[in-house]
Chains A and B, each alone.
Chain A
Amino acid sequence: MPDLRRDFDSRDDLIAYCTEQFPDAAAVDDHIAETLGGRREAEAVLSDVDPRAYAKTRNMLTGAVTGLSPYLHHGVLSLAEVRDDLLERFGPQACSKLINELAWRDFFRRAMSEMGEGVRQDREDYKTGWDAADYADELPADIAQGETGIDFIDAMARELVETGYLHNQARMKLASYLVHWRKVRWQAGAEWFLSHLLDGDAASNNLSWQWVASTFSHKPYLWNQSGLIFISDGQFTGSARDGSSPFAGEVPEIAERLYA
């Protein structure tokens, strides 16, 4: 078993080598993320984190999210290290929201430690009035290819594949669309995300999908057009090409339409 190369002249050289050594991965998709791997880069990203701005703006699609997740997933930085660094620089109050979000990752990892491969199976029944068998197994091609005609869904599907990253709000809304509007089992979407997300983590990813689906929460996560317009500062309307939107109306009305 020969050693793989460690001497690369440039990132392009590394990319070309990976493409040749891992043809299966290149065949799945050969986009390359701009996010750089490595501890040095991770420390630079950490030093740019602004926990106060994070607390205020993190739910906006252009908000001050940290970009730490690929490094956390790969152990380049540990949750404890990030927490310690932030507490030292900013104190507990400023870090309140961010540390709460770090705790979600700890929670998901502890849960996976108990569940093992069970993270891939429904933890509970769907709370939608439907059975798991009522949901389709396969990811619809129009979603995978970003060709549903709905501005937000298509833009996020492409961003996932091209960049290996999605804002948490985009993940939740895309997941909700797939499971609740398109009636597809969450597993199909979770696997799609794991193919592409640089931070793809069976714990955080699968259990968040289950939270959206309602198999690891009390109720399905649904969202509407006005919420999307707000978090995207009007960049997206959630409308199809004909101007209609499956996300129009208030959430309780949508729930009624989807699951009556």
Chain B
Amino acid sequence: MSPPAPSSAVVWIHEEDLSPKSPALQAAGDGTPAVFVIDTGWLRDERISLKRVVFMYECALELPVVVRKGDPVEVVRAFAQEHGADTVFATATPDPRLRRQGDALQARWIEPPPFVVLPKAPDLKRFSRYWRKAERKAFTPTENQ
């Protein structure tokens, strides 16, 4: 086996990004090494049951990724080192735990295509207020957003 080709980036696939069309995978480009980490601390702390793990694993098997387990920050760091990479691509997420982990990795966050593009941030105290601003756009295809 020859050593891995030099590369400057890896992709961290997290559990909200389990699509072969992952924005982070697409931004990083074909052939960029990618890793999906099953976060054992999260499983333990939030008492995540086995069926959720199996579902995620099954999703990941359709992606060009290495699957590992452990603390995502440590695992992705080690993975980047193995590949001599200094950049970690990840798909942006509102989840606070994933954000903390990505920030610790100084991830380059890739925004997924938004559901609606709004000129200014809507009031999110109630759905009705958001909907008044978003309704028209919600029925507009992405290409015309």
Contact = CB atoms under 8 A, between A and B. Distances in A.
A196 B47 CA distance: 9
A21 B69 CA distance: 9
11 contacts: A14-B58, A24-B40, A37-B18, A37-B56, A39-B59, A75-B18, A77-B19, A78-B19, A109-B94, A113-B94, A191-B46
Interface class of chain A by DSSP: helix
A1 B49 contact: no
A133 interface: no
Contacts of B19: 39, 74-78
A18 B22 CA distance: 24
A28 B18 contact: no
A56 interface: no
Given A18-B57, A80-B113, 5 more contacts: A1-B68, A29-B50, A95-B139, A112-B96, A196-B52
B111 to A, nearest CB: 11
Interface string B80-109: 000000000001001110010000000000
Contacts of B135: 103
A11 B126 CA distance: 42
Contact of B115 (A87, A106, A113): A106
Most buried by A among B46, B51, B94, B135: B51
A-B pairs with lowest CB-CB distance, top 6: A37-B58, A113-B94, A37-B59, A29-B49, A106-B115, A79-B115
Contacts, number: 198
A259 interface: no
A154 to B, nearest CB: 19
B27 to A, nearest CB: 14
Interface string B50-87: 11111111111110001111100011001100000000
A70 interface: yes
Contact of A164 (B20, B55, B62, B139): B55
Contact of B96 (A25, A33, A110, A117): A117
Interface stretch (A173-181, A198-206, A219-227, A238-246): A198-206
A259 B77 CA distance: 53
B43 A92 contact: no
A28 B139 contact: no
A31 interface: yes
Nearest to A70: B55
Nearest to B118: A110
